Amino acid sequence: MRREYPAGPRIHLPLVLAAQLLPRFFPFDPLAFAIELSGKFGDMAHYRLGPLHVYQLNHPDLIRQVLVEQAEKFHKPRLLKRAFRPIVGEGLLTSDGAFWKRQRKLIQPAFHQRQLAAYGEVMGTLALRMVETFENGQVREIGAEMEKLTLAVVVRSLFGADLPGGDGEFSECMLAGA
């Protein structure tokens, strides 16, 4: 019996691997890819990456069904778990079932509407602080500036503190692995 899958693009794994190894020649924009799939295939798209079947859900109701209403019916591939557990441990990315549900409930307050509004305030405040350091005619590496800003927002939002020493040695160490 042949299994039916939702419509989706054919992905050529060697090209995907080449894009990861040579991003300068094969730029990949995940957001543009997701938007393109949504436009071409609607609420759900399916594609394969080697042995993995990937389903992209493009409608909030479908996402809610998978993550909230019927989460116990959906499991992450063993390959994904084996690949990421040594790096990220037993977390939301690598767990399923009751353990995943407990973790999700623990982290849920961080995504409450009031909390998201507070994150927005932090982002705005720190972005303004960064822009105030810019001088007319000055050339800045915007990629590096945005990495520092992102790290500062995460540290302030999660820990309620500023980076040790502003954006100096600590942030350079944190961003070195990025």
Residue 27 has pLDDT above 90, yes or no: no
Does residue 18 contact residue 26 with C-beta atoms inside 8 Å? yes
Separation CA 163–CA 133 (nearest Å): 16
pLDDT at position 170: 62
Does residue 109 contact residue 115 with C-beta atoms inside 8 Å? yes
Mean pLDDT across 140-166: 85
Beta-bridge partners for 48 = 53
Residue 98 has pLDDT above 80, yes or no: yes
pLDDT at position 1: 72
Report helix, strand or coil for 48. strand
In eight-state DSSP terms, residue 65 is I
Element (DSSP H or E) covering residue 52: strand 52-57
Task: Check residue 112 and give left, alpha or beta (phi > 0: left; psi -120 to 50: alpha).
Answer: beta
Does residue 153 contact residue 116 with C-beta atoms inside 8 Å? no
The 3-class SS string of 80-100 reads HHHHHHHHHCCCCCCCCHHHH
Residue 124 has pLDDT above 90, yes or no: yes
Q: Helix 169-176 and helix 142-159: axis angle, to 10°?
A: 100
Beta-bridge partners for 47 = 54
pLDDT at position 42: 93
Q: How confident is the model at residue 91 (pLDDT cuts 50, 70, 90)?
A: confident
Mean pLDDT across 58-81: 89
pLDDT at position 56: 92
Question: Would you say the pTM of this structure is higher than 0.85?
Answer: no
For residue 177, the number of C-alpha atoms closer than 13 Å in the C-beta half-sphere is 4
